[in-house]
A and B are shown apart, each in its own frame.
Chain A
Amino acid sequence: MSDHEENRETDAHSGTETTGHEWDGIKELDTPLPRWWLYTFYACVVIGVVYMVFLPAIPALPGLSGSGSDHTRGLSNNSERANVAAAMLDLEASRAEGFERLRGTSIDAIEDDPDLLGFVRAAGDAAFGNYCSTCHGSGAQGFVGYPNLNDDVWLWGGSYDEIRNTIRYGVRSEHLDTHFSQMPAYGRDGLLTRSEIGDVADYVLSLSGQDRPADAIARGGATYASQCVSCHMADATGDRSQGAPNLIDQDWLYGGTREQVIATIYRGPYGVMPAWEGRLNDTTIDALAAYVYLLGGGEAAASSPTGQ
């Protein structure tokens, strides 16, 4: 640059000095920076220095490892991780009151308290989305083999306590108190022939009002009486203490076509649900149970409890 200082000249047209450089006859004007730009730039430099002094700025300094981190901390000692952790604690604290009110409260009392009802629906929805929706669906609508929790069909009981127990201990889980039962795989294990299974399917479908051949129903009814009544009961209304579904209603956990019913009898379903005790705290389980109960299918507690 200094080589060209003596070449600086004032441009006649603009009245501005040139830089003194010349490239093939082209000269560059040394136009001053706009003031606002210059001041903004100075302000940025100042802010940059202030930032480095007050906030974490310089990373990867092994010499600082004694402080538990390898970056400068800044005078403000700000840490976004600590901020997030503190915010999470604040969030939990803000929810603590609602969970506290939920503890030991009956479902009727929850329903009658508009604020608690709103809290349960929000807290339960969040927990359901995290832990339950993978199998039961985001709207608790279920899939083939995974019960729909909106309806009034309950394998292991639909009262608040029963739902809570099911969540707590699971179904066919590793928990000692888990709900457990097992339907034989009638086809796979050779307990019934294919035609016998077909007849039982026809009989079962006829129970919920479907039109099936009379001879098949008669043969299937006989097989039912010998093989199925112990769990599904003589009137086929099922047994909640064994998780045996009602066969005369309109709900089919594993599908309601003849093929699906045959397949179910053939292989014997073995649906599992994990036990949530120990993985979720009691109040979260309470919120989940209340949420599921309030999806519309919850039942009043039976005078003599059937399940656990």
Chain B
Amino acid sequence: MSDNQKRSMAAPGITRSKAKAVNAAEERELYKKREPIYPKLAHGKFRFVKWVVMAATLAVYYLVPFLRWDRGADAPDQAVLIDFAGRRFYFFFIEIWPQEVYYITGLLILAALALFLVTALFGRVWCGYACPQTVWTDLFIMVERAFEGDRNARIKLDRAPWSFNKAWRKVSKHAVWLVIAAATGGAWILYFHDAYDTLANFFTGQAEISAYLFFAGLTFTTYVLAGTMREQVCTYMCPWPRIQAAMTDREALNVTYRIDRGEPRGAHKKNDPWDDRGDCIDCMQCVAVCPMGIDIRDGAQLECIQCALCIDACDDVMLKVDRPTGLIAYETDDNIDRFQAGEKPRYRFVRIRTLVYAVALVLVAAVMLAGLLNRTELDLNAARDRNPNYVRLSDGSIRNGYTVKVVNKANAPRALELVVDGDPALIVRVLGAADETPMRLNVEADRTRDFVIYLTLPPGAVDVPREDIMFRVLDPATGESAQTRSVLVTGLAE
């Protein structure tokens, strides 16, 4: 065994990786070219969890547009559809109109609160497992590994001069990346038009220009962000690493190097005692597997997405040197202090911070649910004409005009009965409606109709400056009703 080889051994059977934390804050320079990171494949439970999450999230993204949901003849049957042209958002049994966009606001608030809560409990699990940037980067690295081999092979290939072997591997990798990127951009547009139709139209060149533009844009961003920019997106572009410092605290579980156990670090020779030294044999495996190009042993840092691959790598090594696993583990800052003081760890998941997030989450969810359950499929709005404010007829009657909007969110046409509550002397006229009692307003399925309604107060009944009135519609077929208040202005002095 040569000297050189000896120096590169961290422990018997464990080679010291030459990996450097190239993306650590102190290593980076503003004008320096990005140093490539060659993440090594990790093996272990977190790597497994990440494969499962990757498969699940990708499956959701690519397959959801193809799910069907029967809504009757007058509505699309795509389960999740954002129909900009028809101004509807369909989500399984929920159909949202543009004026109900607050449901989406509520959903985003829920997502934000859930993110806060999870971060306060378990650190950046969103970044580490579920963020699209992480998932697609992981997928792209997987492809890269398939064509170019693991870390060392990739480094060697990049340093090697151009050859047929290098060329076909590089070309194939980029080709597969482009196919995945195209599928990503392609799946995106399926959420906005019927998926099957769009797919057929897309390949025959008959889809809308916007579909091709979004396809091109998202193909490009997927290719660039997941293929070539990778950790730079998280380090430079994403605001969340900056925000997360305020979301996490000393009692949140974060991927942490157990400095109490690991130091002083150093190579370990066979049969050397483990007393008076740390468990870290400085093998650099945690750095080698890190997709962010950092050294977790430097402590919590903005660049760390907490993907926990270093835990897998370190546990592997600890088993080989026969030391307890968990030198890098999900641990809290407070517990590290306790370990150093020789105390037992304590975990407090119920804290004021997590309670506040949880209560807020439950409250918003309850409000959303109540809103959804009380959502009506029949709505009524009345806009009184203000130009002119009122009309005095030749006999001294006072007439007010109203534009009454009837919103029929049901997927069936309605024949509604109109009732106007107010002065019993009121004369009601609806443009286009037959003069019958009760008056009928016909509204087609899934649309809004404007009705012009004239209310006339005979001269003898004109006695106050304004009268309260109420428009009511009733669907005799379903028993649903809706009402809206308005006033009738007579022009008399207040």
Contacts and interface: CB of A to CB of B under 8 A. Distances in A.
Interface of A: 32, 34-35, 111-114, 117-118, 121, 137-141, 148, 150-153, 246, 249-251, 294-297
A246 B394 contact: yes
Q: Which 5 A-B pairs have the closest CB atoms?
A: A139-B387, A141-B388, A249-B394, A150-B391, A250-B396
B452 interface: yes
A135 B371 CA distance: 49
Contact of B432 (A35, A111, A246): A111
A35 B31 CA distance: 7
Contacts of B454: 296
Nearest to A246: B394
B452 A294 contact: yes
Contacts, number: 63
B401 interface: yes
B452 A114 contact: no
Given A35-B31, A112-B432, A121-B452, A296 B399 contact: yes
B393 A118 contact: no
Contact of A111 (B391, B393, B431): B431
Given A35-B31, A118-B450, A151 B387 contact: no
Contacts of B459: 250
Contacts of B395: 249-250
A114 B388 contact: no
A152 B388 contact: no
Contacts of B31: 32, 34-35
B432 A139 contact: no
12 contacts: A34-B31, A112-B432, A114-B442, A118-B450, A139-B388, A141-B391, A150-B401, A151-B393, A250-B393, A296-B399, A296-B429, A296-B454
B399 to A, nearest CB: 6
B392 A151 contact: yes
B339 to A, nearest CB: 42
Q: Specify which of B30, B394, B395, B442 lies most central, judged by the most chain A CB atoms within 10 Å of its CB.
A: B394
Nearest to A121: B452
A283 B410 CA distance: 37
A88 B93 CA distance: 42
Given A114-B449, A139-B385, A150-B399, 11 more contacts: A32-B31, A111-B432, A114-B432, A139-B388, A151-B393, A152-B393, A153-B393, A153-B394, A294-B431, A295-B401, A296-B401
A251 B459 CA distance: 13
Contacts of A121: 452
Contacts of A250: 392-396, 459
Nearest to B444: A114
Nearest to A111: B432
Contacts of A34: 30-31
A296 B391 contact: yes
Nearest to A35: B31
Nearest to A209: B396
Contact of A138 (B387, B392, B429, B442): B387
A206 to B, nearest CB: 16
A205 B387 CA distance: 28
Contacts of B450: 118
A296 B449 CA distance: 19
Contacts of B432: 111-114, 117
Nearest to A249: B394
Contact of A251 (B387, B388, B392): B392
A34 B236 CA distance: 14
Nearest to B33: A35
Contacts of A141: 387-388, 391
Contacts of B392: 151, 250-251
A246 B395 CA distance: 11
Contact of A117 (B385, B396, B429, B431): B431
A141 B394 CA distance: 14
A134 to B, nearest CB: 15
A148 B399 contact: no
Contacts of A296: 391, 399, 401, 429, 454
A126 to B, nearest CB: 15
Contact of B388 (A112, A118, A148, A249): A148
Contacts of A113: 432
Contact of B391 (A32, A151, A246): A151
Contacts of A148: 388, 391
Interface in B212-237: none
Q: Specify which of A121, A138, A296 lies most central, judged by the most chain B CB atoms within 10 Å of its CB.
A: A296
B149 to A, nearest CB: 30
A137 B391 CA distance: 14
Nearest to B454: A296
Contacts of B399: 150-151, 296
Interface in B366-420: 385, 387-388, 391-396, 399, 401
Contacts of B449: 114
A296 B429 CA distance: 9
Given A34-B30, A296-B399, A251 B452 contact: no
A146 to B, nearest CB: 13
Nearest to A36: B236
Contacts of A153: 393-394
A87 B449 CA distance: 28
A251 B431 contact: no
Contact of B394 (A111, A138, A251): A251
Given A111-B432, A117-B431, A294-B452, A150 B388 contact: yes
A295 B452 CA distance: 9
A32 B29 CA distance: 13
Q: Specify which of A114, A148, A250, A295 lies most central, judged by the most chain B CB atoms within 10 Å of its CB.
A: A114
Contacts of A150: 388, 391, 399, 401
B491 to A, nearest CB: 12
A20 B454 CA distance: 84
A244 to B, nearest CB: 15
Nearest to B385: A139
Interface string B423-438: 0000001011000000
A238 B323 CA distance: 112
A233 B391 CA distance: 26
Contacts of B393: 151-153, 250-251, 297
